[in-house]
Chain A
Amino acid sequence: MKQLTALCENFGSAICMLARSARHINTLPRQFPRFIEQCYLIGYTTLPIVTILSFFIGSVLALQSGYSMQNFGAKQFIGTLVGLSMCRELGPVMVAILVTGRAGSAITAELASMNVYQEIDALMTMNIPPERILVLPRLAAVLVMMPVLAIIANLCGWYGGAIVCQYTAFISVDTQSYFAALKRYMEFNDILDGLLKAEIFGFVIVTICCYIGLSVKGGPREIGASVTRAIVVSLIFILVLDYFVTKALL
């Protein structure tokens, strides 16, 4: 019961934090440098790992599906399978997981250390709401960068699959046929659904990571604990939300 109360309390506090951030939305244009800095941290620094991992996920997907499909002569559908899997599911979820690990942990660590070393208190005494300069630019940046990262993940995954199909002896589906199959059964809405998922995940990750970072109490030891907590909670939320969002979008 106590844990349920704490969960509800945390949920309510996170909503309040979002509401306080939304109150300052009109300040966003003059926070452009902070927004760009966060775009760099969330987008650019996560990009290499997203590129590499999505390429190999697409490759493995093509390899596994090629191995299974060759038994019943459905190799021509590998492109469709990789294409849809990447853009509807694996792309957004993988990007969300990588953003949590790469950017979310950094956000929590930064805000938690600001809290522990009284920088947040200093902001409050200066009548500068922390939500305005610390939460809002990060939320805006993640909303811009998540679809970009998801699109890049999709493309890398698709090309990874295409290369494997082309050069693996037991599959040997040429790139043209692979992309033709990918296009034939995929609609623009499939891509949009994936991007919407990425947006939702990004928003949830930054909200959780900012909230946990800003609510840290205690000494430096709490910084590490808060990062772990933020990652675990974010991953749980991503996977649980994934089911509900997928169900709603089907």
Chain B
Amino acid sequence: MSAANTTTPLAGKTVGISISHLTKQFNNVTVLHDVSFDVHPGEIFCLMGPSGSGKTVLLKHIVGLETPTSGSVRIGEYDAADPETRAKVHLAFVFQAGALFNSLSVYDNLALYPREHRLGSEVSIRERVMYALQILSLEKAAGKMPSELSGGMKKRVAIARALVMEPQLFLYDEPTAELDPVMGATISEIIGTLREHTAVTSLVVTHDRSLALSIADRVAIIMDGRIRAVGVPDDFKHTTDPAIANFLNPVVDIKNPRFKQLENANE
């Protein structure tokens, strides 16, 4: 279900990801156990899982911020753990909290990448930045500082900043976390629209079921550091795996002893 390459100004040659037998330990605690899956070029791949299941650690391996204890992560033909890979592959990471540079205005946040990599004159950088701001309806926020923005706007600026990089690979870490449902829907629409505009490969890490099942071409479920299942969204709608079913459609059991304890404590 990969999208065709387009020739919009921000389009780049897309790349896939190949994760093979990835294991990660921190102080003898294994966070990722023998994780393997592929993300095909041009697709939107959602990695879902409960909090603490290792999603963000996995994402950090893809961007090269962590190195595997064993196994490998490859982006296209390059090893993700090699710092040189970031020079060869345009990779954009939208952090959960945005990670905007607080000392720079929104415009300068977006212009930092092209300026530092000398991707044209100041005029062409301006065009590029304004184009990205326009896609995300942020033209009026260009002169603002990150501290003046709402949570949703910060997320959109982070996406715009990633877009300016003309990425071949878009990585989103919990793009709808801490947002209201309307803003969450807007962000998911933006992710879909960006793929249409740029044909870029997107890996979305989330525990937002509706986001994942609505935008993804394929979904993987990770639990306790292990990949539990990989498939198209429809595969998960009628899953027979009780753990996945419980994660996707959680049912609160009020007869659970933990709730009894809470009740007693309240009395």
Contacts and interface: CB of A to CB of B under 8 A. Distances in A.
Contact of B65 (A119, A121, A126): A121
B102 A119 contact: yes
Interface stretch (B90-98, B126-134, B175-183, B223-231): B90-98
A122 interface: yes
Given A118-B95, A118-B99, A119-B102, A124 B65 contact: yes
Given A124-B65, A125-B63, A127-B86, A117 B97 contact: yes
A128 interface: yes
A128 B113 contact: yes
A40 B86 CA distance: 33
Contacts of A60: none
Given A121-B99, A122-B101, A128 B92 contact: no
* Chain B interface extent, by class: 20 to 34
B101, B113, B116, B117: residue with the most chain A Cβ atoms closer than 10 Å? B116
Contacts of B113: 126, 128
* Chain A interface extent, by class: 10 to 19
Contacts, number: 47
Nearest to A133: B116
B216 interface: no
Interface in A99-129: 110, 113-114, 117-119, 121-122, 124-128
Nearest to B87: A127
Interface string B96-128: 010111110000000011001100000000000
A122 B86 contact: no
Contact of A125 (B93, B103, B112): B93
B165 A117 contact: no
Interface of A: 110, 113-114, 117-119, 121-122, 124-128, 132-133
Given A117-B99, A121-B65, A125-B93, 20 more contacts: A110-B103, A114-B101, A117-B97, A118-B99, A119-B101, A121-B95, A121-B99, A122-B95, A122-B99, A122-B100, A122-B101, A124-B63, A124-B64, A124-B86, A125-B65, A126-B112, A127-B87, A128-B117, A132-B116, A133-B116
